Structure 1
Amino acid sequence: MDLPVMPPVKPMLAKLAKTLPEGELSYEPKWDGFRCIVFRDGDEILMGSRNTKPLDRYFPEMAGPLKASLPPRCVVDGELIVAVDDKLDFDALGQRIHPAESRTTMLAEQTPADLILFDVLALGDDDLTQRPFADRRQVLEGMAEGFADRDHAPRVLLAPATRDRARAMEWFEAFEGAGLDGLILKPVDAPYAFDKRSQFKLKHVRTADCVVAGYRMHKSGDGVGSLILGLFADDGALWHVGVAASFTAKRRAELMDEVAPLVLDDIADHPWASWMEAEAHEDGSMPGAPNRWSGANGRDHSWVPLRPERVAEVRYNWATSGRFRGTTKMVRWRPDRDPESCLAEQLAEPEFVPLERVLRA
């Protein structure tokens, strides 16, 4: 492989904005998938993740569409997504990161991915990274004319974009129901800045009151690294819905003192006692389950069970299938709330919008 921009590449990132910044911007839907940099040099194709890890083995179905759609020599930036029932499904996407080739092959057939492209770093012998985004977008739109026309996945698609601020806010409100979680805002005159947060993202923000059912120690060994959260289902079962993390060193130490009286010596007394058994972790959703990206690196995913008697208000951006997407932030303790009043119905999902409506925007 011999390209103007060579792997590995850490892609340009976005920093959170609470309101729409001023200036000349290009607005795009924010996709809920896996970031993917694609390098193509003839028959050679390499798909790299945000952290430069190879993705090719997990998405074998993309090789054919990429060869059919992309120019012979190019480097493009995009997002791998999986849609189920015409809506983004991050859980189905996450299942693709599996060590067994047989399972990966099966899932490639059952839940094939699409690739949404939103930037181009190189074309032919030209390095485009120092050119303004407006120019790169124009090049990408020209490339998109050659994308193969398919009515089913896997597909290579061009991300919708607009310079119209009002229209962008309409997208922000409407497209959440298709599984998107906000907008990406790109300064039109900016070069491609590797591994820097030189773009912006506007995300939906909500709060929920959750039962604190356990914690994990911080990786430094000092204080609470994350609080493990639960909500009650209609049948009275307490379900694991995510974690709250990103505490300061001072707050980590304070939380250790605050949760100490709730520590359970016997896991048998905890609602999640059975989750200590290996078979309970097959779907990767229970506390202590190994992360598919980092499970082999020796990190400790064990947790300390707590009596589920305290309630914390947490701030989150998005929830799917009754679980928080990403890490939530603790806002405050809620001593005025009974744990039994913390119901899963708080995580109501927005009205459904077909993904194809987003793609046609």
Structure 2
Amino acid sequence: MDLPVMPPVAPMLAKAVKEIPDTGHVEPKWDGFRTIVFKDGDEVELGSRNEKPMTRYFPELVEALRRELPERCVVDGEIVLVQGGRLDFDALQQRIHPAASRVKLLAEETPASFVAFDLLALGDDDLTDAPFAERRRALEEALAEASDPVFVTPATADLETARDWFERFEGAGLDGVVAKPLDGVYLPDKRSMFKIKHERTADCVVAGYRWHKSGGVVGSLLLGLYDDDGRLHHVGVVAAFSMARRAELVAELAPLVLPDDELATHPWGEWAEAQAAERASSAGATRMPGAVSRWSAGKDLSFVPLRPDRVVEVAYDHMEGDRFRHTAQFRRWRPDREPSSCTYAQLEAPGALEVGDILPLRG
């Protein structure tokens, strides 16, 4: 591979703001894997946000990119997966699998798409020092004939349209919008764009905590919501505390810690008991809330079970299935709320929309 911009490249990032700024360019914020595509003839490499190649996991997309992209180019975008008319991040995560046979099967059963939103190189030209307005025009021209599953993201210069997208597109699983200065150059690993995401609040039961990686203090609180049948589901974590506050939480939560002989009374007792058995035998255990996965290999994500008696108000952006898509933010304790009242019914549901209303998907 011989391109004017060579892998690995750390993608340019966005900083969070509350309102959509009038930069002259706003586009949807896609919920997938940020990816930079390097293509030199038949050679295609997919670089991830952490600069590690993802090429082997998406063979069907590599083939499509060979067909739909210019002969030699470097394109910044997002790998997404659409199921039931919505973006499905959980299904996308399953695409990262070590077994080649499983990768092949998933490529057939849950094929991915690529949404392009920036052009870093074309032919022998390095475009990273060109203003974004020029790069966007070049991207639209270069991918003018591209078709499903390769797309150029929609964009608008109109703030009212951007605000409409922010509200409506969430129904298809998107998580906000991104505003880009038209005169900005491409700055790898710099927060030079602006992202605007939804923020809502929910009252959740605190049913456990994990230790901080440094040891001896609380790392994150495990959050739960009750369904209509009265079952407490693990929905995410809240983790942004100062070190002093983390230490205080150990003492504050100590009266709620369940001893091993009471684990069966915990809503997640099967996971807690498996964890206790693992400690005793050093054998493998079934997956528990936040257990080690392909994304967290090597991290200790075991948890300390708590009596589910405390309620916390957290801020979150949106749901992915029945869980918070990202780490929630602590707002306040809610001693006035009964844990049993913390149900899914309190969550705001976005309006119905399909990805096909945003992108020209076949079928």
Report the TM-score, using the length of structure 1 for normalisation.
Answer: 0.93
Over the residues paired in the alignment, what is the CA RMSD in angstroms?
A: 1.5
| Amino acid in the other structure paired with 1:198 | S
Query: How far did 1:346 drift?
Result: 2.4
Q: 2:195 and 2:18 mapped to 1: Cα distance? A: 9
Residue 269 in structure 1 maps to residue 268 in structure 2? no
Q: 1:199 and 1:334 mapped to 2: Cα distance? A: 36
Query: How far did 1:85 drift?
Result: 1.1
Determine the structure 2 residue equivalent to 1:48.
Answer: 47
Query: How far did 1:21 drift?
Result: 2.6
Determine the structure 1 residue equivalent to 2:289.
Answer: 287
| Amino acid in the other structure paired with 1:242 | G
Correspondence list, 1:174-193, <5 A: 174-193=168-187
Query: How far did 1:351 drift?
Result: 1.8
Determine the structure 1 residue equivalent to 2:242.
Answer: 248
> What is the identity percentage for the equivalent residue pairs of Structure 1 and Structure 2?
59
Query: How far did 1:280 drift?
Result: 4.3
Q: Which moved more, 1:124-133 or 1:269-278?
A: 269-278
Q: Which moved more, 1:109-118 or 1:346-355?
A: 346-355
| Amino acid in the other structure paired with 2:347 | L
Determine the structure 2 residue equivalent to 1:19.
Answer: 19
Question: Which digits, 9 at most, give the CA deviation of each residue in 1:199-243, with x for residues without a partner?
Answer: 000111000000000101111224211100111111111110010
Native 8 Å contact 1:322 1:347 kept in 2: no
In the comparison of the two structures, how many residue pairs are matched? 349
Q: 1:336 and 1:108 mapped to 2: Cα distance? A: 49
Q: Which runs of 5+ in 1 are unaligned?
A: none
Q: 1:279 and 1:179 mapped to 2: Cα distance? A: 33
Question: Which digits, 9 at most, give the CA deviation of each residue in 1:82-111, with x for residues without a partner?
Answer: 000111111111111122222222111111
DSSP 3-state at the match of 1:359: coil
| Amino acid in the other structure paired with 1:344 | Y
Of 138, 161, 173, the match for 1:167:
161
Q: 1:305 and 1:206 mapped to 2: Cα distance? A: 27
Q: Which runs of 5+ in 2 are unaligned?
A: 275-283
Q: 1:222 and 1:6 mapped to 2: Cα distance? A: 43
Query: How far did 1:64 drift?
Result: 1.2
Query: How far did 1:360 drift?
Result: 5.5
Q: 2:291 and 2:107 mapped to 1: Cα distance? A: 23
Determine the structure 2 residue equivalent to 1:299.
Answer: 299
Native 8 Å contact 2:172 2:353 kept in 1: yes
Native 8 Å contact 1:49 1:55 kept in 2: yes
Q: 2:180 and 2:31 mapped to 1: Cα distance? A: 17
Query: How far did 1:115 drift?
Result: 0.3
| Amino acid in the other structure paired with 1:261 | P
Runs of 4 or more above 6 Å deviation = none
Native 8 Å contact 1:73 1:124 kept in 2: yes
